[in-house]
């Protein structure tokens, strides 16, 4: 029978390689998403794309705050969260804020896409850039205020399960809320349900869009964004579901006195946490796999727009000012 050290070693290796993988693919992918969405007028003027720009920016932030931290802890035994009390509180605050804003924006993106593809004109009017900006601002302000609870209740304490210093919540009531409501409902069931529901409804609308009088460019963009969103929703549901299931199991298994059982569960936790970071790491690769149009847009941005911009900068740098 495997010992606790074997499971701990496996946990360390999984954390190093999976989190390293997430960082390597996720950060460049996030920046490429931002580049494509901001470079093309088609996306800049679209309400759904506006939400995806916000999501792409915050996904990079989640990877830097979450996956990078776990990678450094496992690979180099350096835990910044127990070295600095302000960092312990700031990291959890920013991570929770980014996570909640991202999930909310994904919900709003699918709802917006449903309204945009509706055949009823009065529902289509809800999909406009002014409303989108207001909803985004409200979302950012609301979750920024709400997440203040985390730095209030998080601190560096001695963990009862690992007997090591850890940055964790210190209030039993808040811990109960965080485990049984926040992680399961607000970061699990609710966003998964809303994105799946409106993603399917938007997909159904695009199937019937050919029978309505819609400009060809708008029709193709709606089909593209809906297919990209729907596949991302399916992928996100899988990533979050693994994390949610393990979160539900945690309070029950951590009461065990068997060190082997606890070591096995730590391995399962590490795997689920690493899978959780797939959802901020993989959107770019989902888009290029799902949408041929997005692949063409990426090629155009990288090899035409960026090349022309670099060439203009080079010409400007080589210009010699005339002597007086």
Q: What is the mean pLDDT of residues 53-62?
A: 96
In a domain, 316, yes or no: no
Measured CA to CA in angstroms, residue 251 lies from 53, 235, 255 at distances of: 36, 26, 7
Task: Tell me if 324 is assigned to some domain.
Answer: no
Give the C-alpha distances (Å, rounded to integers) separating 295 from 36, 54, 108, 230, 298: 10, 21, 25, 17, 5
Average pLDDT of the residues of the chain: 87
Query: Which CATH number characterizes residue 168's domain?
Result: 1.20.1070.10
Q: How far apart are CA 234 and CA 173, in angstroms?
A: 33
Task: Determine the pLDDT at residue 307.
Answer: 73
User: Does residue 296 belong to any structural domain of this protein?
Assistant: yes
Residue 267 buriedness (CB in 10 A; 0-12 / 13-18 / 19+): buried
The pLDDT assigned to 324 comes to 46
Q: Rounded to whole angstroms, how far apart are CA atoms 34 and 75?
A: 29
**Res. 318 pLDDT band, cuts 50 70 90:** low
* Residue 85: how many other CB atoms lie within 10 Å: 14
Residue 101: its pLDDT value, please?
A: 97
Rounded percentage of the chain residues whose pLDDT exceeds 90: 48
CB contact at 8 A, 82 and 111: no
- Closest among 193, 151, 176 to 247, alpha carbons compared: 176
Q: How far apart are CA 76 and CA 15, in angstroms?
A: 11
Provide the domain limits for residue 210.
Answer: 4-302
The pair of structure tokens assigned to 242 is 């693994």
Say which residue, 306 or 278, is predicted with more confidence.
278
214 occurs within a structural domain = yes
Where are the strands (E) in 164-271, listed by range? 165-169
Average pLDDT over residues 184-195: 91
* 314 within some domain: no
Burial class of residue 122 in the structure, from the number of CB atoms within 10 Å of its CB (0-12 exposed, 13-18 middle, 19+ buried):
exposed
Q: What is the pLDDT of residue 323?
A: 46
Higher-confidence residue of 312 and 114: namely 114
CA distance 306 to 199: 33
217: pLDDT strictly greater than 80: no
What ranges make up the beta strands (E) of the chain? 154-158, 165-169
How far is residue 107's CA from residue 103's CA, in Å, rounded to a whole number? 6
- At a CB cut-off of 8 Å and minimum separation 6, what does 199 contact? 110, 113, 226, 229, 230, 233
**Alpha-carbon distances of 90 from 85, 86, 94, 215, rounded to whole Å:** 9, 6, 6, 47
Query: What pLDDT is attached to residue 140?
Result: 97
Residue 213 has pLDDT above 60, yes or no: no
Residue 244's pLDDT band, with cuts at 50, 70 and 90, is confident
On whether residue 321 sits in a domain, the answer given is no
Residue 278 lies in a domain: yes
Residue 320's pLDDT is what?
Answer: 45
pTM value is 0.90
pLDDT(86) > 70: yes
pLDDT per position as a tens digit, 116-165: 888 888 888 888 899 999 999 999 999 999 999 999 999 998 877 667 78
**Domain tally for the chain?**
1
Give the pLDDT score at 2.
62
Residue 76 located in a structural domain: yes
């Amino acid at each position: 029978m495997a010992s606790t050290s074997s499971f701990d070693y496996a946990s360390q290796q999984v954390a190093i390689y999976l989190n390293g993988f997430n960082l390597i693919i996720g950060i460049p992918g996030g920046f490429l998403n931002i580049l494509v969405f901001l470079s093309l007028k088609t996306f800049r003027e679209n309400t759904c794309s506006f939400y995806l720009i916000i999501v792409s920016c915050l996904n990079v932030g989640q990877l830097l705050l979450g996956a990078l931290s776990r990678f450094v802890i496992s690979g180099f035994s350096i835990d910044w969260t127990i070295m600095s009390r302000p960092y312990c509180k700031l990291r959890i605050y920013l991570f929770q804020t980014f996570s909640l804003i991202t999930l909310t924006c994904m919900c709003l993106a699918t709802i917006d896409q449903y309204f945009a593809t509706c055949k009823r004109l009065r529902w289509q009017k809800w999909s406009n850039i002014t409303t989108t900006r207001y909803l985004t601002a409200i979302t950012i302000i609301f979750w920024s205020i709400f997440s203040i609870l985390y730095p209030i209740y998080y601190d560096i304490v001695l963990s009862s399960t690992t007997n090591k210093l850890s940055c964790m919540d210190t209030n039993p009531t808040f811990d109960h809320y965080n485990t049984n409501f926040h992680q399961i409902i607000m970061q699990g069931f609710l966003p998964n349900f809303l994105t799946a529901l409106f993603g399917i409804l938007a997909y159904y609308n695009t199937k019937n869009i050919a029978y309505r009088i819609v400009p060809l460019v708008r029709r193709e963009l709606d089909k593209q964004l809906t297919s990209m969103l729907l596949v991302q929703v399916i992928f996100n549901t899988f990533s979050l579901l693994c994390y949610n299931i393990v979160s539900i199991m945690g309070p029950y298994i951590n009461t065990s006195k068997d060190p082997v059982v606890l070591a096995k569960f730590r391995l399962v936790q590490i795997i689920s946490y690493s899978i959780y970071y797939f959802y901020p790491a993989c959107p770019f690769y989902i888009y290029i796999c799902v949408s041929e149009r997005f692949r063409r847009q990426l090629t155009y941005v990288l090899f035409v727009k960026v090349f022309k911009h670099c060439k203009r900068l080079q010409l400007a740098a080589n210009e010699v000012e005339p002597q007086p």
